[in-house]
Structure 1
């Protein structure tokens, strides 16, 4: 009997449609596990919650929140929580699916989860944000737990929100549970090295890819889209290894300097002025021209669906290292492949954050914490090993790195499902 299609997304599948197309592309390489791939196109559970918040003026505003468990065959759900005015169920489902693939590709004992609230956090005061976070945590509390579902920071959330989430969950269960979230402040059981881990991982995997094609990092030109936590950490890592960051784009504008932009100086400017626009040590550039810059490395580190069939043909980079989740559509993937652009996919490139989140989770369970040097060394070892395994599959099967990463990850997930069987 043919499985029934999902009904609750309507006709517009959005980002979820991209994820399912990526799954479809890997099915021919799954062998005996191929019949189980349908399960990857169906999230395990979807929770939609109402989040009422009392505002500072005494009125009550209502926000829609989500928490999705995509697959938990290999372990508890793991994935961030984002606050953004354009958050949708389709987006959160896709992000949860990418977390399943990412965790499995890197070899972490997690399944995929994701959460979000449709809200513009810039319009809320710190007190309103705290009440929003605590109410959302209480609403999704039926799913949470250090061995069930472990949230983390994502777009517009960070250590502060994770502290509120941990405290809310802990108060509701009557004991302190540091391991229920990761990305916490160090004082509450957070891990050293976590803040820069995702951006550092982008650099590590991009450098590993460069080694495979004989490209030198030192002296290479880098263009980065997005200068939040991931983008600026990646920029600093490239800069520290001798590369030239020649262009940075964020929501305020695009700046360009062929001689190189000091990301440390740019970060200070962004912290003061709220974005890269107007940075005095670089020239403004039209947003569309960003994609056609002659660079060795292009790092999309903003939101999904940034590289599409409309702009992929303009890209002149040797390597695209995906700092964001889902920044490249399948149609754009095909164009980049035809152009000979090597894409290091998000499920490997930006896995540094969840890898160090795993380290944090382990440290919380043991109440024993590692040095930052130990964290960074472990991170590099995990990501280089994961990239090496994906590269080998790509060479053996003559497939792109994204498809190879899905082959590695889907095989691990579906093998776990096959061994566990169906209950009842």
Structure 2
């Protein structure tokens, strides 16, 4: 029986859902999932299987604070799918993280891995806390207890965490050590995004930004725009935004605007990105007061006329309220979910090519896969080899999605969901359902 969007009236399939303006991350993902399901004519059972997480774990994390008091935090791990292989996904520490958000991010990881041909399923984790309010000792105790609570979930052949919002290689080192102590052996492949000395991979830090640039260059080529003749605006100047800006700058592109939490900075003649990166290093990590640039708002940056817009900051930056004002030819989503579902059709009508997040920022999980492979082999690659293989996989993924979009006359985002869901569904049909 083919999928019918009116079949489902409860749970994940609530129809009608909230207005698109008010969608949760999971509902935003499901809006796009339903579209792809319709094109693929998924039957009811397959739709339910692919829409439902395999496992959702909620744990209490008691931590003895530096004061001697006990504080209890809440932690999550959602495994959305493991049909293609062990599940993979980051862990974020944030005061507002929710199970709903983690479910959406886990599903995105499933499609992201399928799109770039990485043999992983999708997962995501989170701890509801404010890491800025925790000492290093408190952060370590929280991380180790969270890991101990997830010992039956994590594993190099089961579920492999990685860094995400407010987590880093030190936290991954604590997770690896805690897991290894309980396994009674050093198990480097249980996490990725580790320090090099503990089995991390060369090129991992730059991987997401490098992937953004690889697919952006592929899109420019489709539109017959030379990199050294294009203008670029980058929202967000953290790891992904700064690396994307730097690599586009090295391609000869004119970076006319950049931004961070202090606002936007514009120069019609182009910004010297290496100098901007150096400035942030010497200015408490921010662009505040950056010289030789006009101060603008983040909204002005998003609406600026340019060839390429790279939103690499936060989710929900482009919605139906400002999508009609976007003046880029290409949007390359460095962040997760920077464009809301209700803005997709507006951008499509304007003829803007959107390279979706589940492709554009998949460089991180691709090099995480490389790290896992290297840990399993006990043999490590040069940065040049990592970058070469990353560029090839990202370019192949873009070409695949572009072909799907042409064949079905749909957008790249729609093509990404169609391609990813079809791959997982086809694999599931071949494997069958264990009974």
The TM-score, its normalising length taken from structure 1, stands at: 0.95
Unmatched runs of 5 consecutive residues or more in structure 1: none
Q: CA deviation at 1:303?
A: 2.2
Q: Show the 5 A alignment for 1:165-180.
A: 165-180=175-190
* Contact 2:306–2:328 under 8 Å retained in 1: yes
Point out the more displaced range, 40-49 or 169-178: 40-49
Q: Select 1:389's aligned residue among 400, 417, 433.
A: 400
Note if 1:40 corresponds to 2:40.
no
Q: Which residue of 2 aligns with 1:20?
A: 30
Q: In the TM superposition, what whole-angstrom CA distance separates every residue of 1:357-404 from its partner, at most 9, and x where no partner exists?
A: 111100100001111111111001111111101100101110000111
CA distance in 2, matches of 1:173, 1:4: 44
User: Which of 52, 58, 63 is 2:68 aligned to?
Assistant: 58
Matched-pair contact (CA < 8 Å) for 1:179–1:365:
yes
CA distance in 2, matches of 1:269, 1:67: 37
Superposed displacement of residue 33, structure 1: 6.0
Q: Is the 8 A contact 2:201 2:367 kept in 1?
A: yes
Please, which runs of 5 or more residues in structure 2 have no aligned partner?
Answer: 2-6
Does the CA contact (< 8 Å) of 1:28 and 1:34 recur in 2? no
Which residue number corresponds to residue 227 of structure 1?
Answer: 237
Aligned-residue RMSD, C-alpha: 2.0
Question: In the alignment, what sits opposite 1:122?
Answer: 132
2:155 counterpart of 1:150: no
Is contact 1:189-1:364 (8 Å) kept?
yes
Residues 211-222 of structure 1 aligned to structure 2 (within 5 Å): 211-222=221-232
Distance of 2:163 and 2:142 partners within structure 1: 15
1:224-257 deviation digits (Å, cap 9, x = unpaired): 1222111111111111111122212222322222
**Corresponding residue to 1:83 among 78, 88, 93:** 93
CA deviations on 1:165-218 (whole Å, 9 max, x unpaired) are: 111111111110000001111100111011100000000001101101111211
Establish whether residue 286 from structure 1 lines up as the match of residue 297 from structure 2: yes
CA contact (8 A) 2:235 2:298 kept: no
Q: Name the CA distance, whole Å, in 1 between partners of 2:236 and 2:78.
A: 25
Is the contact between residue 198 and residue 230 of structure 1 (CA under 8 Å) also seen in structure 2? yes
Match of 1:74 in 2: 84
2:307 counterpart of 1:296: yes
Partner residue, 1:367: 378
**Residues 397 and 165 (structure 1 numbering): CA distance in 2 closer, same or farther, change over 3 Å?**
same
Report the equivalent of 1:345.
356
Give the secondary structure class of the aligned counterpart of 2:229: coil
Shift in Å, 1:270: 2.3
2:328 matched to 1:317? yes
Work out whether residues 89 and 106 of structure 2, in 8 Å CA contact, stay in contact via their aligned partners in 1: yes
1:255 corresponds, among 246, 260, 265, to 265
